[in-house]
Amino acid sequence: MENQNHEKEISFTFNGKRIKGIEGQPIAAALMANGIRAIRTCTVTGEPRGIYCGIGHCYECRATVNQKRNIRTCLKCLEENMDIKSE
């Protein structure tokens, strides 16, 4: 896809693996751009879960971000060296 100007590429980790994304974009978008769609595991069924509503209502895309649990990755913006972990 076309690259917008003034975009800064930074690196972050998802479940320990170092990957790249664009600073300031929602974490979920950065994961999706890296081909990662399964963000967490459902505690009831053990199935993976990912983005559904994209605007913070369904809470399906939450993850632990810099040790803070249950962060909605569709709302939280990506920062340099962020540590993102599945729940």
Partner 1 sequence: MKQKVVVIGAGIIGTSVAYFLSKKNVNIVLVDAKDIASGTSGACDKAIMLQSKKWGPALELAIQSATLYKDLEQELQQDLEYRQGGGLILIDNEQDLKVLQQTVEKQNSIGLNVKILTGDEVRKKNPYLSEKIIAASWCEEDAEINPMLTAFAFAKAAHKNKAILRLNCEVLDLVTENNRILGVQTTHGKIYADSVVICSGVWTNQILKTVQLEVPIIPRKGIILVTEKLPKIIDCNILSGSYIVSKLQKEQNSIPYGIGLAISQTKSGTLLIGGSREFVGFDESIKTKIIRDIAKQAIHAFPCLDNIHLIRSFAGFRPYTPDNMPILGEIPSVQGLYIAAGHEGDGVALAPITGKLMSELITNQKIEFDLSPFSIERFLESTIS
Partner 2 sequence: MKVDVAIVGAGPAGLIASIELAKNGMKVVVIDEYYRSGGRLLGQLYEDTKSEKKRMWDGKEIANHLMDEALSLGVQILCKTTVWKIESNCLFISNSEIKEIHSKAIILATGAIEKALPIPGWQKVGVIAVGAAQTFTNLHRVKIGNRVLFVGIDPLSISVAMEMKKAGIHVVGMMLPAPSLMTGEKSNPQDVLEQLLMVAHMAPNYFFRIAGKLVKGKIKKLIVNLLKFNLIQIMGIPLYFRKAVTQINGQREVESVSVSNLSTNGELSRIETKLEVDTVCLSGGLLPLVDLTQVANCILVDIPELGGIVPLHNKYLKTSVEGIYVAGNITGIEGAKVAMAQGKLAAFSLLYDFKIVSEQQLQMAFNEVDIARKSSPISFLPNIKIGRKIMEEKWKAYSIPIGEK
CA distance 34 to 21: 8
CA angle 11, 32, 46 (to 5 degrees): 110
Site string for partner 2, 49-68 (x = CB under 8 A): xxxxxxxxxx----------
Say which entry of partner 1, partner 2, none residue 4 contacts (CB below 5 to 8 A, set by partner kind).
partner 2
Kindly list the distances between the CA atom of residue 84 and the CA atoms of 47, 54, 61, 81, in Å, as whole numbers in the listed order. 19, 18, 12, 9
Say which entry of partner 1, partner 2, none residue 29 contacts (CB below 5 to 8 A, set by partner kind).
partner 2
Q: How far is the CB of 55 from partner 1 (least distance, A)?
A: 18
Site string for partner 1, 46-75 (x = CB under 8 A): ----------------------xxx-----
CB nearer to partner 1: give 33 or 58.
Answer: 58
Q: Contact at 8 Å (CB) between 73 and 2?
A: no
